[in-house]
Copies of this chain bind each other. A is one copy, B any other.
Amino acid sequence: MSQFGAIDKLAVSTIRLLAVDEVAKANSGHPGAPLGMAPAAHVVWSQMNMNPKNPDWINRDRFVLSNGHAVALLYAMLHLTGYDFSIDDLKQFRQLGSKTPGHPEFELPGVEVTTGPLGQGITNAVGMAIAQRNLAATYNKPNFTLSDNFTYVFLGDGCLQEGISSEASSLAGHLKLGNLICIYDDNNITIDGNTEVSFDEDVAKRYEAYGWEVLYVENGNEDLEGIAKAVAQAKKSTDKPTLIKMTTIIGYGSQQQGSHAVHGSPLKPEDIKQLRIKFGFNPDKSFVVPQEVYDFYQTKILNPGVEANKKWNSLFEQYQQKYPELGAELARRLAGKLPANWEKALPVYTPKDSAVATRKLSEIVLQSIHEELPELIGGSADLTPSNLTRWSGAVDFQPPSSKLGDYSGRYIRYGIREHAMGAIMNGISAYGAHYLPYGGTFLNFVSYAAGAVRLSALSGHPIIYVATHDSIGVGEDGPTHQPIETLAHFRALPNTHVWRPADGNETSAAYKVAIESKHTPSIIALTRQNLPHLEGSSIEKAAKGGYVLQDVANPHIILAATGSEVSTSVEAAKLLASQGINARIVSLPDFLAFDRQSEEYRLSVLPDGIPVLSVEVLSTSCWGKYAHQSFGLDRFGASGKAPEVFKSFGFTPEGVAERAAKTVAFYKGQKVISPLRKAF
């Protein structure tokens, strides 16, 4: 006998019509995928372990809508299962200021990650599955299964075509993430029409090649039993992630079903009417939810979820008694708090310490803090010995059967997959338990991950990019590896720290702010080459994002520099002094942190009356907000020994001094207003 009956059918019809009504009311949105995937949503959600009254419960099953344009479906599910979404919220779909924006947004209750940009969601989900495996391996004890949740993903052809999902899926197979269950809406339609125009590969075979289990549901439009069986089978596959290839008809039930016309446009009123009649609903009423459907979900999902959360709480109480240290640690993490005084572990330097590359200083930070912070979980996109991202003695996060590490390991070998690394870090962060992911690559290749970085910033995931080889200082590898536009790019991205520390204290400061950030990602740009420790730097000052490193009486000019150009500017100032030019040195390691200081403080650093020359060996285009004149590199670099390359572009004390002197001459006799002054 089927486990599904009339009430399930009614529930599916209700979901379908709610989604259609949301889109129709907004006169904007995507009805096609919700119509096709409503049965899967019903089946998957009906057996998920979650508490709609406490969306943050750490052991909830996660649901990720990777095809985020189908969000009307998600809002319908959240409403029906008791999350804080009213029918009125659904009626405000896609309206300014509403709780139901056009794509899922992380901060909404029950929305696990922001999706819409294709391929991100499935990749976030890989991160969540990693986090679960790590949490379980770290804290589960006999009779104390604190963590055993699954992560479910809905995704479509678009997600599968994006390269990021290939990267993530290959890694998920390698990592044997059996807690990951993906349902592929195989509807054969994308915006350009039938997928046959560009996508006729054998997806199932590809996923088998990645080491996944692949299951099939031939009639995803109606076969609830078949979907349930596949999900049950997937849950049994403990050492392989599962792809359920579910064939559906896009816009199922609509007069335009099966065509791309139903993908991204509201259904016509007559079409909606016939749909309601077909499903046994009143053709003239919108946003209808039969009481028995509410009751069903309350019985099936809400009540058991509340109960499961309660049981878990009680289990965790006992755990804390039996394992006081681990218990306290996990309790702290669940409260989203850092350990007291963790920052005392950050290394501090004086100018007497010998010159070191900031990538090496970053390694020392990680070495110093990893024991304090069990939530720190690092990795690199295959550049470990160059990024210096692995503390000595680190255990790799690997399936135990590989003998290369285990799931309690906190170092992830991402492979040469920068984009996936970024989105996986987002997923790990979104998982909760105060996970603090960092990942290494060359600064220039953070650009490969731009799509994921943007979502870190938009969603407020406080992850960290350890971005080494930050300029033409990479030398011989040449212009393909030398960032020029990269800092300008990410500084223009809202809510993003873009650090370029000049020495040891500034490197520690970058990590301090990054780790204390609740809702802001950080990119820390680090040198390949050695830099001296500077007189005047401190963690406290650098944490402000910008400060006066070295001052003089009556400065004629301010040299505002970052990273490797700060020490060059310090040397330039000495040359200038011999010419009677007084130069204040301002270090500006992070624009965002500086912008968040008081206006009074900022004006004390960059006051009226003194021309500011920025010195940074990358694009000058972002410096207008702080500098009157800029010395940078608005062209591609060159292959050669690093000191020679620097010299050829004038980035020497002499080169900086020459430009500073010209700047002083240019502004002589002029009234100079601080670039910080705003008219509005």
Assess whether B416 is in contact with A161, with CB atoms less than 8 Å apart.
yes
Closest CB of chain B to A594's CB: distance in Å?
13
Instruction: Tell yes or no: A116 within 8 A of B by CB.
Output: yes
CA distance A96 to B485 in the complex (A): 22
Closest CB of chain B to A209's CB: distance in Å?
4
- Chain A residues 61 to 81 lying within 8 A of chain B, measured CB to CB, are 68
- CB closest residue in chain B, given A175: B198
Contact stretch, chosen from A270-278, A512-520, A619-627: A619-627
Assess whether B209 is in contact with A200, with CB atoms less than 8 Å apart.
no
Assess whether B476 is in contact with A458, with CB atoms less than 8 Å apart.
no
Residues of B near A458 (CB, < 8 A) are 479-480, 636
CA distance A95 to B659 in the complex (A): 27
Closest CB of chain B to A60's CB: distance in Å?
24
Assess whether A190 is in contact with B415, with CB atoms less than 8 Å apart.
yes
Instruction: Tell yes or no: A256 within 8 A of B by CB.
Output: no
- Chain A residues 633 to 680 lying within 8 A of chain B, measured CB to CB, are 634-636, 638-641, 644-645, 648, 658-659, 662-663, 665-667, 670-671, 673, 675, 677-680
- CB closest residue in chain B, given A171: B198
Instruction: Tell yes or no: A117 within 8 A of B by CB.
Output: yes
Most buried by B among A158, A398, A476, A666: A476
Which residue of the partner chain, among B96, B208, B613, B639, contacts A101 with CB atoms under 8 Å?
A: B639
Known interface pairs A115-B480, A447-B451, A621-B622. Does A640 touch B97 (Cβ–Cβ under 8 Å)? yes
Interface residue total, chain A, C-beta cutoff 8 A: 131
Residues of B near A415 (CB, < 8 A) are 161, 190, 192, 197-199
Instruction: Tell yes or no: A484 within 8 A of B by CB.
Output: yes
Assess whether B197 is in contact with A205, with CB atoms less than 8 Å apart.
no
26 A-B interface contacts by CB (under 8 A)? A26-B476, A95-B640, A98-B640, A103-B477, A103-B478, A161-B167, A161-B170, A161-B416, A162-B416, A170-B199, A191-B382, A192-B382, A192-B384, A198-B417, A205-B205, A205-B206, A206-B209, A455-B480, A485-B490, A489-B489, A492-B622, A613-B679, A663-B679, A666-B677, A670-B673, A671-B671
- Chain A residues 437 to 469 lying within 8 A of chain B, measured CB to CB, are 444-445, 447-448, 450-451, 454-455, 457-458
- CB closest residue in chain B, given A479: B458
Residues of B near A619 (CB, < 8 A) are 492-494
Which residue of the partner chain, among B28, B209, B398, B621, contacts A205 with CB atoms under 8 Å?
A: B209
Instruction: Tell yes or no: A196 within 8 A of B by CB.
Output: yes
Q: Mark A488-518, 1 if CB is under 8 A from B, else 0.
A: 1111111100000000000000000000000
Q: Mark A141-169, 1 if CB is under 8 A from B, else 0.
A: 00000000000000001100111111100
CA distance A103 to B670 in the complex (A): 47
Which residue of the partner chain, among B26, B163, B620, B673, contacts A167 with CB atoms under 8 Å?
A: B163
Instruction: Tell yes or no: A201 within 8 A of B by CB.
Output: yes
Known interface pairs A211-B201, A416-B162, A640-B95. Does A621 touch B491 (Cβ–Cβ under 8 Å)? yes
Assess whether B679 is in contact with A667, with CB atoms less than 8 Å apart.
yes
Assess whether A196 is in contact with B485, with CB atoms less than 8 Å apart.
no
Residues of B near A202 (CB, < 8 A) are 208-211
Which residue of the partner chain, among B94, B640, B662, contacts A639 with CB atoms under 8 Å?
A: B94
> Which 3 A-B residue pairs are closest in the complex by CB-CB distance?
A624-B624, A163-B163, A96-B640
CA distance A222 to B666 in the complex (A): 66
Assess whether B641 is in contact with A96, with CB atoms less than 8 Å apart.
yes
- CB closest residue in chain B, given A173: B201
Instruction: Tell yes or no: A410 within 8 A of B by CB.
Output: no
Residues on A close to B: CB < 8 A? 26, 28-29, 68, 94-98, 101-103, 105, 114-118, 157-158, 161-167, 170-171, 173-174, 190-192, 196-206, 208-211, 380, 382-386, 396, 398, 402, 404, 413-420, 444-445, 447-448, 450-451, 454-455, 457-458, 475-481, 484-485, 488-495, 613, 619-625, 627-629, 631, 634-636, 638-641, 644-645, 648, 658-659, 662-663, 665-667, 670-671, 673, 675, 677-680
Closest CB of chain B to A615's CB: distance in Å?
12
CA distance A196 to B636 in the complex (A): 36
Assess whether B166 is in contact with A163, with CB atoms less than 8 Å apart.
yes
Which residue of the partner chain, among B420, B494, B663, contacts A634 with CB atoms under 8 Å?
A: B494
CA distance A199 to B415 in the complex (A): 7
Which residue of the partner chain, among B384, B478, B635, B641, contacts A494 with CB atoms under 8 Å?
A: B635
Assess whether B477 is in contact with A116, with CB atoms less than 8 Å apart.
yes
- CB closest residue in chain B, given A493: B485
Residues of B near A402 (CB, < 8 A) are 196
Assess whether B191 is in contact with A384, with CB atoms less than 8 Å apart.
yes
Given contacts A116-B478, A163-B166, A191-B383, 7 further A-B contacts (CB under 8 A): A102-B477, A162-B416, A170-B201, A190-B416, A447-B454, A492-B622, A621-B625
Residues of B near A118 (CB, < 8 A) are 416
CA distance A623 to B624 in the complex (A): 7
Which residue of the partner chain, among B491, B494, B636, contacts A636 with CB atoms under 8 Å?
A: B494
Residues of B near A666 (CB, < 8 A) are 677, 679-680
Which residue of the partner chain, among B117, B165, B493, B625, contacts A445 with CB atoms under 8 Å?
A: B117
